[in-house]
Amino acid sequence: MHSKWISGLALLAALSLHSLHAQKNPSFEEVISLRSAGGPQVSPDGKHVAFAITSTDWKANGYDTEIWLSKNGGDPFQLTRTPGSSSAGPKWSPDGRWIAFTAKRGEKTQIHVISPEGGEAWPLTNVEQDVQSFEWSPDGKRLAFTMAEKENPELKKQRERYGAFAEDDAEFSRSWLYLVDFQTTLRDPSELPCYNAKDSTAQSWPCIEWPAPRALIDSAAIHVVRFLWSPDGKTIAVQHQPDPLINSSYRSDISLLEVATRKRTPLIQNPSTDGLAAWSPNGGDLLFTSAESDTTSYFYINNKLFRFNLATGRQQRLGADFDENLLPIRWTPAGIFASASVRTEQHILLIDPVTGKVSRWASPMPLSFAGSVTPKGDVIAFSGTDGKGLPEIYLSPTASPSLKKITRMNDQIQGWAVAQSEIVRWKSQDGAAVEGVLHKPQNYDPAEKYPLLVVIHGGPTGVDQPGALPGSVYPIVQWLNKGALVLRVNYRGSAGYGEAFRSLNVRNLGIGDAWDVLSGVDHLIGKGMVDSTRMGCMGWSQGGYISAFLTTTSNRFKAISVGAGISNWMTYYVNTDIHPFTRQYLKATPWSDPEIYAKTSPMTYINQANTPTLIQHGEFDRRVPIPNAYELLQGLQDRNIPSKLVVYKGFGHGITKPKERLAAVLHNWEWFGAYVWGGEALGR
């Protein structure tokens, strides 16, 4: 080859390398500070989109969510500003003239209304308890909403005399259903004084009062979970359960409530959970999901979708051939729109209400997250990404997808060195087919071997998908830019791979999951990609449990981080707020089969442990209570294994504030830096 061409190619290569090196390695704070857009709501005529943008408030150590609006596909603008709080859940009035939302702009969360043409929002309700959810009536003249029942006066007297105590699962507040008129000409009550007697001129006048809510359900021993107006506005379908306790969800049923008379008639009463989904456009049918009579495996089996005809009482199962959970969005004349995980993708689906057949709506985005559809079913708004950037809000006709991008969230990461994703597949120890998302450094060289960090999702019915900035409390992008590979494993039990795959860890928790992780590691080692002397593993919740299992059963990793993980299924079972989870996956209680509880518990193998382990846990975690963390820590310390427990004060199962999230990221960065990259060791 001519030397001139060789020089030219060398120059291009150098420029390319310089371009990659010129990309910014974002700081932890910059990643945590990214804005995110979601919850798009398309206007009834399909022309406008209201959605939420969440931003970080470092001074208040919180997150602020406000409503933004795009009109006619134009650049969006911020519609609400709620100092010290957030505005959430925008919903268009049926005529498209108003947007209602909830916000706390006083002592309690109330329904507020604003015109899409601009102006100030004004409160529609002034109730004593926080408004929880609401829905416009089809004629736009009323709104139904839920709020918690008032505190029982007897409980107040009890506290005054005996102090604070509560019987387990016996103290709670149910959510009940109310109705309020929508009045656009309402004057603020403060505009006119209100006296109990005549004034000095011997006159009296009617006071200006807030619209008084009318109770639709306020005394029954039921907790309202969800409700939907019928198309004619005469009836409200109500999903309810006996109380708000999480373990009562499998006892949820569906009733019909006559708005005029408040008469409630039971409609769907299966032994297990029944979930309200949608009305048919003509109001003759109701769509619902159900586990029918299954009270022992609903945590991991597919939900079932049914169409119930109110006139005949007959029901028809829809989507029976679709092997995943179907999450309905809306029933329209164009069909039933739904959403589902499909392997490492997220699809918007269209269900034929007559045949029950499921097809994919032809979104060009492999990750298309549920949004909203117009009443006619002709326009859809949704959040989507190709897996290479941040999700954006899109607007599209449904008949022939032509996406109009509404937001510009990816402008935030221009010039950043972010994660690149590819899907890898391998066979597990027992032959099960497993997938994972592999991230490589920007300048990946197949001739080199890299440190490997394995990040395991929670659930177990979560799923890892391609993304530019994955990680939450794990600094994945910074590790990639430091020169590491990152593997995120969709182990058995993950969503998107069908019911049989989700069932593979039944009575095999931890054991089969560890097979999937280690076989994935071996797959990459076999391809010559990994420096097997520099590997780490971590995860949160179920991912924390699998990490704890690996720290006591494997010596493959230089360091492990256990986030809100289970260490002992007995300890977990007697402390958690979801006891049925363990009974369903292990098919036993600790008293009926202590062997399976021991076999699948990391603490059973504590005498085999030798991996330096960081433990992270929320102080008030109810889902995986903190005794699991202390038990693992003590076991590791008794064996003189380098270990450290970090308790995030005031938090439950997740780290939901930016400063503590920054701390959790930093703790992982330091731990793996010490043991995988050979920095100064931390902890005992």
Do residue 437 and residue 373 come from a single domain? no
Q: Report how far residue 541's alpha carbon sits from residue 599's, in angstroms, rounded to the nearest whole number.
A: 19
Question: Residue 390 half-sphere exposure, CB side, CA atoms within 13 Å?
Answer: 18
Q: What is the pLDDT of residue 171?
A: 81
Do 406 and 466 share a domain, yes or no?
Answer: no
Q: Before 44, cis peptide (omega within 30)?
A: no
Instruction: Compute, in degrees rounded to 10, the torsion defined by CA atoms 422, 425, 426, 432.
Output: 140
Q: How far apart are CA 34 and CA 391, in angstroms?
A: 12
- The average pLDDT across 503-521 equals 97
Structural domain of residue 383, as residue ranges? 321-414
Final residue of a domain: which of 370, 396, 414?
A: 414
Is residue 492 a part of any domain in this protein? yes
Length of the chain: 684
The pLDDT of residue 317 is above 50 = yes
Asked if residue 173 has pLDDT above 80, the reply is: yes
H-only helix segments in 110-177: 153-162
Distance CA 188, CA 208 (A): 7
Q: Is the pLDDT of residue 236 over 70?
A: yes
Annotate 435-461 with b (16+ C-beta within 10 A) or e (fewer): bbbbbbbbeeeeeebbbbbbbbbbbbb
- Assess whether 548 and 511 both reside in one domain: yes
Tell me, yes or no, whether 482 and 363 share the same domain: no
Check whether residue 497 and residue 616 sit in a common domain: yes
DSSP letter string, 406-457: ---GGGGGTTB---EEEEEEEE-TTS-EEEEEEEE-TT--TTS-EEEEEEE-
Same domain? 403 vs 489: no
* Residue 631 shares a structural domain with residue 523: yes
Cα–Cα dist 288/307, whole Å:
7
Last residue of a domain, one of 381, 414, 447: 414
d(CA 674, CA 666): 12
Q: What are phi and psi of 160, to 5 degrees?
A: -60, -30
| SS3 letters across 197-242 | CCCCCCCCCCCCCCCCCEEEECCCCCEEEEEEECCCCCEEEEEEEC
**High-pLDDT (> 90) share of the chain, %:** 85
Tell me the percentage of the chain whose pLDDT exceeds 70: 95
87 part of a folded domain: no
Is residue 557 in some structural domain? yes
Evaluate if residue 432 carries a pLDDT over 80. yes
Can you tell me the mean pLDDT for 458-467? 96
Give dist(CA 490, CA 344) in Å, integer: 9
Reply yes or no on whether the pLDDT at 295 is more than 60: yes
Q: What is the mean pLDDT of residues 400-420?
A: 96
Residue 251 is given by DSSP the state: G
The pLDDT of residue 199 is above 80: no
Closest listed residue to residue 612, CA positions, set 538, 543, 546: 538
Is the predicted pLDDT of residue 504 greater than 90, yes or no? yes
Is 355 found in the same domain as 427? no
Looking at residue 13, what is its pLDDT? 37
pLDDT at position 211, please?
A: 81
The count of structural domains within the chain is: 2
Question: Which residues lie across from 433 on neighbouring strands?
Answer: 427
So what's the pLDDT on residue 197? Answer: 65
**Do 393 and 520 belong to one domain?**
no
- 89: tokens are 């859940």
388 in the same domain as 423: no
Both 487 and 624 in one domain: the answer is yes
Assigned domain for 16 exists: no
Ranking 82-86, 187-191, 224-228 by mean pLDDT, the lowest is 187-191
What average pLDDT does this structure show over 585-612? Answer: 97
Q: Domain boundary at 399, 414, 429, which?
A: 414
Question: Measured between alpha carbons, how far is 18 from 453 in angstroms, rounded to an integer?
Answer: 26
Residues 370 and 447 in one domain: no
| DSSP reduced 3-state for 33 | coil
SS3 assignment, position 628: helix
Q: Is residue 391 part of a domain?
A: yes
pTM for the full predicted model: 0.93
CATH of the domain at 498: 3.40.50.1820
Residue 643: inside a domain:
yes
Note every long-range contact of 592-600, with CB atoms under 8 Å and residues 24 or more positions apart, other chains counting. 594/570, 596/507, 597/569, 597/570, 597/573, 599/511, 600/507, 600/508, 600/509, 600/510, 600/511, 600/549, 600/569
6 part of a folded domain: no
Residue 18 lies in a domain: no
Of 540, 516, 519, nearest in space to 459 by CA: 540
415 contact partners, CB below 8 Å, separation of at least 6: 22, 23, 24
Residue 340 in contact with residue 359, Cβ under 8 Å?
no
CA 318, CA 339: separation in Å to the nearest integer? 14
319-373 confidence digits (pLDDT tens): 999 999 999 999 999 999 999 999 999 999 999 999 999 999 999 999 999 899 9
296 pLDDT more than 90: yes
pLDDT surpassing 60 at residue 403: yes
190/349: higher pLDDT: 349
Give the whole-angstrom CA distance, residue 509 versus residue 545. 9
For 355, which DSSP code? T
- What is the enclosing helix (H) or strand (E) of 36? strand 36-42
